[in-house]
Amino acid sequence: MASLGNDVALPPAGTKPNFLNPEDHMVQNVALHTVCLVLITGFVAMRVYTRIHIIKTALGADDYCCLVSYCLSVAFSGLALKSYTLGIGRHMWDVPAPWLPFAFKFYTIAAQVFMLLSGFVKLAILFSYRHFLSPAAKTRHLVNYGIALICCFHTGLYFASLFACRPITAIWDANTKGHCFPLSIIPYASAVSSCVMDLYVLLLPLPVVWSLNLSFTWKLRILAVFNLGLMACVASIIRLVMSPRIQKSADLTWILSKIAVWGLLEVDLGILCACLMLLPAFLGQVIPERAQSLFCRFCSVVPGPSSRRSLDLSLTFTNRGHKSWAHCKHDATRVDQVQCSSNRIIRHQSFSINSIRTPQDGTSSSSINGKTSMGDYYTKTAAQAKTFDIP
């Protein structure tokens, strides 16, 4: 093959090729892909269900990016598993020579799908940030810059890999004559850009969370939501470290299988991270008693911008239809929205919540003091904004 080098590798001294019962990664790879597909299927379904049936808003750009990421992840897993059946994951000297072009063909297509998949996962998270993070111009600009950079990087990498060889079959078939530029550039570029953008996506919300007037413990609890993002960054860094081995190792089919594992973990952990932002709303509807103990302090305090959908997202921690909560107290400042009564929303630019309490008789009240500004639906003056019912 013009760039991957699909000539049959010679085994090490004292080792004979084993075509019948070779050592491979098949069992581990099938198990990992199966677990990942089950997890992302459940979490993506939870996200869509929560958006449509619990929060009751139209799907947004973050939801569509998440759905596209899911479809691409299914395609990536299918192509990768097919390549494993053709020799990827075996030692190269244990792969029959006629299999190699087909194995590299499916792996190459899977790698091209991966470049799109990685981009859409990051876009899903960044579009979610536009609703959850502070509406400050600086923060929104940083989110928009990240979206633009991801679109440019991943579009460029995709077309670079697509037209790396003319004809494209020269990428995986050594018998095809063609012209290729060194494809070693693409794995490096993909891994480096993924590491940089993963860190950017991970670090972007930290200043916003840290600026909240909450206790240090609560800041750490909020930041714990991003732990999966940190794990995805680690997987991306490991993939970057392993990329040079593609050119240095003669056992290419074995190395490619290991790199694909870290790529799978990187993108699927990103999908889970994007879906976790709506998990509290889902738990509050499906298992309210347990969600009460987990998210009681979050039930009415969620920062977000002033858009229609962000106001709906600010309700994700409310307990809809269940008024049996008892004595949930809050001490927080600088939150942007709060749900005040049935079908009424008031947006506060700056205020403090002294307490939110729900008596056992099914009624609830909140004491709110501070400034108000024009909201998207309902406004009150500071004098009128002292007590509201919270469903």
Residue 362 in any domain: the answer is yes
Whether residues 235 and 315 fall in one domain: no
Q: How far apart are CA 153 and CA 148, in angstroms?
A: 9
Judge whether 110 and 171 are in contact, CB under 8 Å.
no
pLDDT for the residue numbered 364:
40
With CA atoms as reference, report the closest residue to 170 among 105, 231, 233.
105
270 with 301, same domain: the answer is no
Identify whether residues 246 and 309 lie together within a single domain.
no
pLDDT of residue 342: 35
183 part of a folded domain: yes
Rg value, the chain, Cα: 25
Among 217, 246, 277, the domain-final residue is 277
CA distance 134 to 373: 16
Would you say 113 and 72 are in contact if contact means Cβ atoms under 8 Å apart? yes
10 inside domain: no
Question: Quick check: is 335 in a domain?
Answer: yes
- Domain identity same for 359 and 305: yes
Burial code of 156-177, b = ≥16 C-beta within 10 A, e = fewer?
ebbebbeebbeebbbbbbbeee
The overall average pLDDT reported for the chain is 73
| Residue 377, pLDDT score | 31
- 240 and 362 co-located in one domain: no
State the CB neighbour count (10 A cutoff) for residue 115.
25
pLDDT of 30 reads 94
Same domain, 235 and 306: no
Residues 116 and 191 in one domain: yes
Domain boundary among 217, 243, 277: 277
Asked, for residue 12, whether it belongs to a domain, the answer is: no
pTM score of the predicted model: 0.71
What is 7-43 written as a DSSP string? Answer: SPPPPPTT----SSS---SHHHHHHHHHHHHHHHHHH
Among residues 277, 309, 333, which one ends one of the domains? Answer: 277
Give me 65's structure tokens: 């990016």
Residues 200 and 340 in one domain: no
The answer to whether residue 2 is domain-embedded is no
Domain count of the fold of the chain = 2
210 and 346 assigned to the same domain: no
Residues 270 and 354 in one domain: no
With a cut of 50, list the residues of the chain below it in pLDDT: 1-3, 291, 295-391
Q: How many whole angstroms separate alpha carbon 158 and alpha carbon 154?
A: 6
In the prediction, which pLDDT does 288 show?
60
222: Cβ contacts below 8 Å, ≥ 6 apart: 209, 212, 214
Distance between CA atoms of residues 391 and 384, nearest Å: 19
* Co-location of 163 and 307 in the same domain: no
For residue 107, the model assigns a pLDDT of 93
Helical spans, DSSP H, in 86-136: 100-132
Q: Is residue 344 helix, strand or coil?
A: strand
For 339, the domain range is 296-388
Asked whether residue 204 is assigned to any structural domain, the reply reads: yes
Q: Are residues 256 and 325 in the same domain?
A: no
- A 10 A CB-CB count for 13 gives 5
Residue 4 placed within a domain: no
Q: Give the pLDDT confidence score for residue 69 in this predicted structure.
A: 96
Place of tokens 């019948």: 20
pLDDT score at 269:
93
Q: Are 357 and 322 in contact (CB under 8 A)?
A: no
